[in-house]
């Protein structure tokens, strides 16, 4: 009798059913939720143009916005920490970029690179305070939520006497780095589809004959790139194993040589990086920065991650699941608009789906750990 057969007959060897194996996949909730919202809005808003080229691009862009910040929040939550300063970081980084380029005369590319470096240093400071003081990341980043938002408003008023800083669009026209965040790709392909009659085109005005959707915004490209990068980092590298270990049991991870402090600080920096990417894309899109941008985005990012299957206790989650959570948000937000429903219902949806996701994740955690 082979060892494999003996192992199968050994009562100490616990077999896992296919159902249980599927149930503990972190992406399960995101997959089910995505299917449900597509079916729902396909039924109630399918005739309103939601699933035509322009409608698809609308909810894709909104989903991409959630997706960018959800990737950073996901990796940080798997590492066992939270970042409540994400929303304030979005407003802060955009304002810094605009002040440096418009009011201090910096080249836009230099302002962008400096802002990324500066904001990642702030993320490192968040992480350093958490690991050195032992304070909960909830408290540390909550403090930075107020600090950054206050500095954003003060800086805007001090330099411009207003909370909206314009003029970035003019600086971006001749800048080599601006198109990386504010341009579009595949414009020729979409023009060809418009000429072939595959997608709608404008019928009047100066844009007559041009496609309604003329390319894929760099915001979407950044979102997909970050999802792929985050997924590969988490599932294909030793550092990804360290992230899971740091969030699962930090002390045990230290005993086996995992640099837990470095992992956590790196994830805070990556969260700040994702927030700055989001802010830069917004600044390039609108040609301005506003002090109130990013409000409540930190909570929306966390909800995306929880919907995607991550546990609030850390050590378990999926970047793909978080991306699906972002798609759910984008489809629901735009679906309510296409269905002519009250937009405030989106907040009701956020609260309800967060509650359902936490209950489901708690149940899954009990299955994983064998708790009753």
Would you say residue 169 lies in a domain? yes
Report helix angle 297-307 to 53-78, nearest 10.
80
The confidence score (pLDDT) of residue 217 equals 94
- Contact at 8 Å (CB) between 242 and 258? yes
- pLDDT for residue 22: 58
Domain for residue 359, yes or no?
yes
Task: Report the C-alpha gap between 141 and 85 in whole angstroms.
Answer: 5
Over range 317-326, report the average pLDDT: 93
Partners of residue 217 on adjacent β-strands: 184
- Helices within the chain (DSSP H only): 3-9, 18-23, 28-44, 53-78, 86-98, 108-133, 137-160, 168-172, 178-182, 187-195, 218-236, 238-248, 250-255, 260-286, 297-307, 319-338, 345-369
Q: How far apart are the first and last CA of the chain?
A: 36
Would you state the pLDDT for residue 195? 83
Q: Is the pLDDT of residue 85 over 60?
A: yes
- Cβ atoms of 212 and 199 within 8 Å: the answer is yes
Residues 350-365: what's their mean pLDDT?
75
Boundaries of domain holding 169? 30-41+50-363
In-domain check, residue 371: no
112-156 pLDDT, tens digit per residue, is 999 999 999 999 999 999 999 999 999 999 999 999 999 999 999
Q: Is residue 84 part of a domain?
A: yes
Number of domains in the chain: 1
Higher pLDDT pick, 285 / 350:
285
Residue 141 resides in a domain:
yes
Number of residues assigned to the chain:
372
Is 23 part of any domain? Answer: no
pLDDT digit string, tens, across residues 220-276: 999 999 999 999 999 999 999 999 999 999 999 999 999 999 999 999 999 999 999
In a domain, 140, yes or no: yes
Q: Which of 179, 181, 182, 189 is nearest to 53 (CA)?
A: 189
Q: What is the pLDDT of residues 195-206, one digit of tens each?
A: 888 888 887 777
pLDDT for 198: 85
Nearest C-alpha neighbor of 246 from the set 266, 270, 271, 269: 266
- Count the Cβ atoms, other than its own, within 10 Å of residue 36: 11
Look up residue 48 and give its DSSP letter: G
Residue 13 located in a structural domain: no
Rounded to an integer, the average pLDDT of 25-32 is 77
Mean pLDDT score of the chain: 87
The dihedrals phi and psi of 184, each to the nearest 5 degrees, come to -135, 155
Give Cβ neighbours of residue 197 (< 8 Å, ≥ 6 apart): none
Each residue's pLDDT tens digit, 264-320: 999 999 999 999 999 999 999 999 999 999 998 998 899 899 888 888 888 888 999
Find out whether 325 and 259 touch, Cβ atoms under 8 Å.
no
CA–CA separation, 342 vs 80, rounded Å? 36
Query: Region 165-171: what's the mean pLDDT?
Result: 91
The CATH number of whichever domain residue 166 belongs to comes to 1.10.3470
């Amino acid at each position: 009798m082979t060892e494999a057969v003996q192992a199968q007959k050994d009562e100490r060897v616990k077999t896992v059913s296919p159902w249980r194996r599927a149930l503990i996949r972190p992406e399960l909730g995101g997959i089910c939720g995505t299917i449900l919202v597509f079916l729902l809005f396909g039924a109630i808003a399918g005739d309103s143009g939601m699933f035509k080229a322009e409608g698809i691009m609308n909810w894709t862009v909104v989903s991409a916005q959630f997706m960018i910040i959800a990737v950073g929040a996901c990796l940080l939550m798997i590492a066992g920490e939270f970042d409540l300063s994400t929303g304030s970081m979005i407003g802060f980084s955009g304002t810094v970029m605009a002040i440096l380029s418009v009011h201090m005369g910096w080249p836009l590319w230099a302002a962008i690179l400096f802002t990324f470096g500066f904001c990642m240093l702030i993320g490192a400071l968040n992480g350093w305070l958490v690991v050195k003081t032992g304070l909960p990341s909830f408290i540390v980043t909550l403090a930075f939520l107020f600090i950054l938002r206050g500095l954003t408003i003060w800086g805007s008023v001090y330099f411009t006497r207003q909370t909206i800083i314009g003029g970035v669009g003019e600086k971006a026209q001749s800048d080599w780095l601006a198109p990386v965040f504010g341009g579009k790709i595949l414009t020729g392909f979409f023009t060809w589809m418009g000429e072939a009659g595959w997608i709608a085109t404008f019928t009047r005005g100066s844009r007559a004959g041009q496609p309604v959707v003329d390319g894929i915004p760099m915001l979407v490209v950044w979102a997909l790139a970050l999802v792929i990068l985050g997924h590969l980092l988490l599932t294909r590298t030793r550092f990804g194993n360290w992230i899971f270990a740091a969030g699962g049991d930090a002390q045990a991870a230290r005993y086996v040589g995992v640099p837990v402090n470095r992992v956590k600080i790196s994830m805070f920096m990556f969260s700040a990086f994702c927030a700055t990417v989001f802010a830069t894309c917004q600044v390039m899109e609108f040609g301005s920065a506003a002090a109130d941008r990013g409000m409540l985005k930190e909570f929306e990012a966390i909800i995306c991650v929880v919907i995607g299957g991550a546990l609030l206790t850390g050590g378990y989650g999926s970047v793909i699941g978080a991306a699906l959570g972002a798609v759910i948000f984008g489809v629901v937000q735009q679906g309510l608009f296409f269905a002519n429903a009250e937009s405030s219902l989106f907040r009701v949806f956020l609260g309800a789906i967060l509650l359902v996701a936490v209950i489901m994740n708690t149940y899954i955690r009990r299955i994983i750990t064998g708790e009753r």
